[in-house]
Homo-oligomer: A and B are copies of this chain.
């Protein structure tokens, strides 16, 4: 009895409740099995003349694959070598491609119709996840398709009737359609006036508040997973739409290659959005309980829950 009392006293002397972990601590504590390898074949590596590197993960099937196929061809043709970053618009996008707009494109690029911006909801539900080349077997086994792991967390969204994560990617949708959404760091395809849909030769990434009005109006083909600061910290262009006014302001792109072509590329992983760790992380993003915070928000918009990516340990 005495021992029990002493134990109780000892327990009372230590804090009864550990501080709740911050989202970053939840991610750091996630088991190795909750991390999914990103195949080098799905990475686009952009090297700038400044010596800086930007790594982009391409959008997985079933979304935007017409454009993604074009991008693979453009990289194989070394088409971007010697092109440049031409536009940096604050709180909006960084855009790169051929500033002359005269460089001949590879002949075998496809033209994707506007219907490719979103996917019919039933087709998405019917999509066979086994086709996903870059998803591990474990991932397939755990996944049950477009699950609503965060249902009730995203209370609402001005742009959709629902948002969710799907094998690492933020999606929005209605009862009838599903589409990838414009969060910070997402990579999209510049285009001319509709019905032009762009080829993929002209690309941009988001460097500001999520411009969700572009959803379903432009193809999203990937996201920057490393080195976005090498684009977001570039001087803003002073011309209309943030285009650089003088050719010498442009940042030359030395090369863009598929990850498989790059020697000693780090192995990247994302935190499975179908994992328990991710659900805990997302909940903590929506309801910060770590000591710095006094009022949990009670929710989070999908772009305020960035999917964690790391270099494999």
Contact = CB atoms under 8 A, between A and B. Distances in A.
A136 interface: no
Given A209-B184, A232-B91, A295 B216 contact: yes
A157 interface: yes
Interface stretch (A70-78, A249-257, A263-271, A296-304): A296-304
Prevailing SS type, chain A contact patch: loop
Contacts of A217: 288, 292-295
Contacts of A304: 158, 209-213
Interface of A: 88, 90-91, 114, 117, 154-159, 183-185, 193-194, 208-213, 215-217, 228-229, 232-236, 285-286, 288, 291-295, 297-301, 303-304, 306
A212 B292 contact: no
Contacts of A159: 297-301
Contact of A157 (B158, B184, B233, B303): B158
A294 B192 CA distance: 12
Contacts of A298: 158-159
B158 A301 contact: yes
A155 B212 CA distance: 14
